Structure 1
């Protein structure tokens, strides 16, 4: 009874405290403002892109936009976006050809074969790749990988799509490996033990039980990796060059959407010009690409997730 009296007294004292009530009423509003900052920032970015991109699309006909001629600084400028879309897709495809097999096999090893001691050593070392600035990757691609590839491909240009694509794949490996490992670790041990009890080898358990069971998370990691590759800037800006030719030859220089934005924001496009507004059109297209990939990843996680 004495404890109940003390508690009641504390409650009455808190209710009578005007300062305490003010803080209680204020804090939910502070939390709401903090939570709204990211939403308002996203809305501001989208509105900026749409409003300024509209000024571009209202002046350039669609047949020119979806053409293969991109010459924004010539005497008769042309704004065909297919060359930079093509460059973005090709470099991203090369990156995922590196990141998916290496990242997935690394995830299988860390999840199913590595001991705790090895995992504690290998995983942090692998994740260091994610912390390296992308401009360092760009110089690495240009000054090391490209000369190395020249020994194998003599007709490779100094600026090309192959070198930055490979280095982007190396950069994305930690993302694919980490998310894929998390997906495989979420599979219950009962499935592993049941498969081993039926006579399956450890490799068969990993490839035929664990990977299919965590497939939704693994596939989502691939899509997020593609989204990361599409949005990469400095690697392709340094090592891929600024050629605006529509080509599928990965030994030649190509320009991606992000590299196009970097080139123009360096001062070539005067404010208020058509070339200036083309930056927002390309930015809106890039935003749409990455948003679409993220939505696909979320759909896959919800649609194909296994509940255990």
Structure 2
């Protein structure tokens, strides 16, 4: 090291940064915006709990919707319809999303332009508004002669909605598996398919399960694509198959909240509480799976 380099003063951090006035103002504005958003959410939740607490009774779970007697209206058909649609969505989206994620991460040529184009499009599709998937499903149903107001059509729209999210979650979970595990398996004579099936994929299952549950939680709260498909707002029967008419909790809440009678607003608030409870259960399950089964490499 030369004498000039030894005489050079040490590098110091710049005086600007988090302590500069601009940074302090930006930080204050960011926290103020966050606090305002949380306050608005808290007010809405408290209002929903206050209005809906009186309607959290057996009628809400055992009776069907009514346009005449809001005091006796229930969400039985909406709860069962949501269960049918979400279960069908999971059966269609999770296997396809996991398979696509495994292929893109483990088998696809990373240097191929086609594969890179597919990866970019998947990332873009994850941010597409939900109603676009409803329009796409409506066009598909018209092309193949499928009735739009049935469970299968709604499940297709929601499966398309969450498919990019599941693919991305699968790829990120596979990337978290150390490459030494793959190399060790291949060194012992296993094929690439055997390595993925017996080593990489089992190690990535906690992350895949977490991402899939969170994606299904998003699908549970969607109403726009189902309304575009002509989802029914008043159903007085239980869905009994993929070709059955249906309604879901978001659609039923939308219908009740748009009514002028205050009694409908109360039952809508009660349905909101039920849907929030379901979402909290699903998110808590995702957190439990992640914390209990995720490997620390």
User: Normalising by the residue count of structure 2, what TM-score does the alignment of the two structures yield?
Assistant: 0.84
Shift of residue 181, structure 1, vs aligned partner: 0.6
Any idea what the Cα deviations from partners look like across 1:12-55, whole Å, max 9, x if unmatched?
xx9xxxxx898898787656545534443442232122122124
Q: Distance in 1 between matches of 2:137 and 2:23?
A: 55
Shift of residue 158, structure 1, vs aligned partner: 4.7
Q: 1:170 — aligned with what?
A: 160
Of residues 51, 60, 67, the one that matches 1:65 is 60
Instruction: Tell me: CA distance 1:168–1:158, structure 2 relative to 1, closer, same or farther (3 Å).
Output: closer
Instruction: Tell me: CA distance 1:24–1:107, structure 2 relative to 1, closer, same or farther (3 Å).
Output: closer
Instruction: Tell me: CA distance 1:76–1:205, structure 2 relative to 1, closer, same or farther (3 Å).
Output: closer
Runs of 5+ consecutive residues of structure 2 not aligned to the other structure: 1-6
Q: Distance in 2 between matches of 1:217 and 1:197?
A: 26
Q: Distance in 1 between matches of 2:175 and 2:47?
A: 41
Q: 1:126 — aligned with what?
A: 122
Instruction: Tell me: CA distance 1:49–1:117, structure 2 relative to 1, closer, same or farther (3 Å).
Output: farther
Shift of residue 107, structure 1, vs aligned partner: 0.6
Q: 2:86 — aligned with what?
A: 92
Deviates more, 1:210-219 or 1:243-252: 243-252
**Contact 1:96–1:225 (CA under 8 A) maintained in structure 2:** no
User: Normalising by the residue count of structure 1, what TM-score does the alignment of the two structures yield?
Assistant: 0.81
Of residues 233, 250, 265, the one that matches 1:242 is 233
User: What secondary structure, in the 3-state scheme, does the structure 2 residue paired with 1:66 have?
Assistant: helix
* Alignment of structure 1 residues 245-260 onto 2, 5 Å: 245-260=237-252
Q: Distance in 2 between matches of 1:74 and 1:255?
A: 18
Q: Distance in 1 between matches of 2:109 and 2:268?
A: 50
What is the aligned-residue RMSD (CA, Å)?
A: 2.8
The size of the alignment, in residue pairs, is: 282
Of residues 127, 137, 145, the one that matches 1:141 is 137
Any idea what the Cα deviations from partners look like across 1:167-194, whole Å, max 9, x if unmatched?
2112211000101110001111100000
Q: 2:3 — aligned with what?
A: none
* Alignment of structure 1 residues 1-308 onto 2, 5 Å: 32-57=31-56, 62-71=57-66, 73-74=67-68, 78-118=72-112, 119-145=115-141, 148=144, 150=146, 157-239=147-229, 240-244=231-235, 245-265=237-257, 267=258, 269-270=259-260, 273-308=262-297
**Contact 2:126–2:165 (CA under 8 A) maintained in structure 1:** yes
Instruction: Tell me: CA distance 1:243–1:250, structure 2 relative to 1, closer, same or farther (3 Å).
Output: farther
**Contact 2:234–2:252 (CA under 8 A) maintained in structure 1:** no
Deviates more, 1:108-117 or 1:187-196: 108-117
Q: Distance in 2 between matches of 1:27 and 1:302?
A: 34
